[in-house]
Structure formats: C-alpha cells, structure tokens
Amino acid sequence: MKKIYIAGCGGMLGEAFYRQFSSNYELKCTDIDVNEKWLEYLDFRNYDDYKNDVFKFNPDYLFHLGAYTDMEYCENNPDETYVTNTIAVENAVYIANQLDIPVLYISTAGIFNGTKEIYDDWDIPNPQSVYARSKYAGELFVKENAKKFLICRAGWMMGAGPLKDKKFINKLMKKIKDGEKELFIVNDKGGTPTYTQDFAKNVKLLIEREFWGLYNLACGGKTNRAEVAAELLKILKMEKKIKITLVSSDYYKNEYYAPRPSSERLINKKLDLRKLNIMSDWKSALKEYITEYFQNYI
C-alpha cells in the first residue's frame, strides 16, 4: 500500500481526500486545526517541522492542500497570506524534491481576470487579488521547480457539509436554515461549481495513471451565482417559498471588497482530450452534495 502525506487536510477538500484515498493508501493527514480523529497537528509554514514530519513518514506522494481562501482576510493580511499560500508551497516542493516524490498542489479558477467567458488549461492567468496572486505564485513555483508535480485548478468549491464548507452553498444553506424568505444573489459572476468528492476522485485517477502536469478540474456546465442559487432551491423544493432577488456585485461591495473576476468558468480541456474527465455535471453534483451532507439540516 503506497503512502501519502496530506498537509492542510482539515478543511472541506481534506475531508474529500480522506474519504477517497484512505481505503487504498496509507495516509498521514495533518493540519493546524485538528478537527478529526484522523488528523495530527502540523503547521506547514514551519519548514523544519514540515520537513521532519514528512521525512519521518517517508511517503510516496506529498499532497499540499491547505491555504487561506477568505479573500477579504487575504486582502487585509497580505504577508500572512503569502507565507501560508506561497512560501509554504515552496516548502512542499523542497521537501518533495529531496524525497524524489510527486507533489500535488491545489490552484484556483480565481487566478484569471475574467475578461474571457471560459478558461481552459492553457489560458494565461492574470490574478487581481492578494488571494489570487498568492495562489498563482504557488502554481508558478511548483511548475518551475518541482521534479514531478500535479497542479489541479478548482472552481467554486462545495463539499464537506455545514461544519467545514465556508463557501457559497453553505452560506445559502445557513440563510435558508435561519428562515430568510428572500435571497439577494449577484447576477454578474460566472463560474463552475466543483464538488470536492468529484475533485478527489479525479485527482486519484490522474495519480494512478501517472499523468503529471497542470489540469483544470471543475464540474461540467457553465453557470453563474443566480443559477446555482435557483437550482439549490429547486433541489430543496423551496423555489416557491423563497424569493431570489438579483443584484449586482456592488450590493455586497462593503462585505466582499476583494477583486473578483466576472467570469472564472473552467473547462477541463486536458482531461477531456485524455478521456479522463470523470467530473459530474454541476447540477448532479449539487444534488448529491445536498442529499448526502444536509439531511435534516433545515
């Protein structure tokens, strides 16, 4: 059984990686937030601690998952963001190279500037926010310095349920649970939902086939925030009970002030060409997610 060291495994994506990989691989999962019995403490920003812990486990792969993803926090704390999202990634590359093992890095659709409607694997990023710059800097370092790597770009992430999902779907679910009868949803932001379970499954396929490099990894179909919200209400059978009011991004400018691209839609062109795209359509993935993780929530 091959061994994988997973750093930054305490969040929504880490939950999916643990579920999808734990039965076929020996895992060591670490995070600064030890919120599961299968997690151990490690701050991957400390190079010596990171290196010593990985070397002690002596894995066949190093998965580096963790990052600050709250874009407003990143805007307000740029130095801490670069240490966590960029310098720590450099730590992972140094460690993986010394062990001569592949490193997995998670990138984001947010590194594009939104001037195109859809982005494939070969489009050139132009990050606009501190968060996006920190993630793209990590991506560049991995590409330029890792001996063997897999970079996977995610879209609008959803997964892990109410305790760990900090993104759009769980924010809406909280509003619905709190009894709100009107949702104010922006109509000028396009993207691609990405279900964490699908994402981890497709990473697993790439790892097992040993197809290294950079891949877009988002669910199928192009959409926007308003369509996602409407589909969520449809799944919950609450489309007649809750009103969606469309607003521009300016409506939330005081709360969400970090620059966000008008479109961060991804297509999995490389996966399609290799016939390795097992990502679900976003509507199917959303239904699976809500059905599995939000039973008896509302």
pLDDT of residue 34: 97
The fourth-level CATH superfamily of domain 3-165+192-222+264-281 is NAD(P)-binding Rossmann-like Domain (3.40.50.720)
pLDDT of residue 45: 98
Each residue's pLDDT tens digit, 188-239: 999 999 999 999 999 999 999 999 999 999 999 989 999 999 999 999 999 9
Q: What burial class does residue 245 get, using C-beta atoms within 10 Å of its C-beta: 0-12 exposed, 13-18 middle, 19+ buried?
A: exposed
What is the phi/psi pair of residue 263, to 5°? Answer: -135, 130
Residue pair 226/187 in contact by the 8 Å Cβ criterion: yes
d(Cα 44, Cα 144) in Å, to the nearest integer? 21
For residues 129-154, give the mean pLDDT.
98
Residue closest to 12 by CA, chosen among 77, 65, 91:
65
Domain boundaries, the chain: 3-165+192-222+264-281
Q: What is the mean pLDDT of the chain?
A: 97
pTM, two decimal places: 0.96
